[in-house]
Structure 1
């Protein structure tokens, strides 16, 4: 994002969830990482005047540094600090065992 351009929570969510080191967005322990829009809520992305917080579930075996750097690169340059909260890490075995259509464990 170019500095001075409006920050789009939907675009951020799409860019971050497309990363190979991110299993999904994470809204924090109490659901506090979210953007409230008319009629809906984007969990895992919080945009405030003092900064942007992105909550993610990382994908093992990525390191915290790889996940954080990837998230910041996906967002691009912004004129706010970007904080990355890694709320969980999905183990490799759990990822391989999930049904991609429902997200539930395969029988």
Structure 2
């Protein structure tokens, strides 16, 4: 990108939230990481003339370095530094399996204190 090109905050938000290392966007403790547009707000993306800040909730077990690298790659090449702030960490995405119980079918998450038996 060349200097002075408008940053598309919607595109950045969509690209970052699609990452497996990111559970969602995070606007910071006081909501300071955001882009204000006419009639709406995009939390977690702040583009200034001299920098871009992306706030995220990371997804465990990714490290801060992995999350930062993935977010910067998703933003793509830009004409200013990209800062990544990790505001929180979320547990791994749950794997849901349907287990047959007497007379019902119920989704149970795998992992943590839960165990599930697969039916043949």
Do both share a fold (TM > 0.5)?
Answer: yes
Q: Distance in 2 between matches of 1:43 and 1:54?
A: 9
Q: Say what the alpha-carbon RMSD is for the aligned residues.
A: 1.7
Q: Which runs of 5+ in 2 are unaligned?
A: 96-108, 110-120
Q: Which residue of 2 aligns with 1:101?
A: none
Which structure has greater helix proportion?
Answer: 1
Largest Rg, 1 or 2: 2
Q: Secondary structure at the match of 1:78?
A: coil
1:3 lines up with 2:2 in the alignment: yes
Query: Runs of 4 or more off by more than 3 Å in structure 1?
Result: none
Q: Distance in 1 between matches of 2:44 and 2:7?
A: 15
Q: Secondary structure at the match of 2:19?
A: coil
Q: CA deviation at 1:49?
A: 1.1
The total of aligned residue pairs comes to: 96
1:85 lines up with 2:85 in the alignment: yes
Q: TM-score, normalised on structure 2?
A: 0.75
Q: What do the CA deviations read for 1:45-76 (whole angstroms, capped 9, x no partner)?
A: 00111200000000000000000000000011
Q: TM-score, normalised on structure 1?
A: 0.84
User: Equivalent of 2:94, from 93, 96, 103?
Assistant: 96
Q: Distance in 1 between matches of 2:48 and 2:77?
A: 16
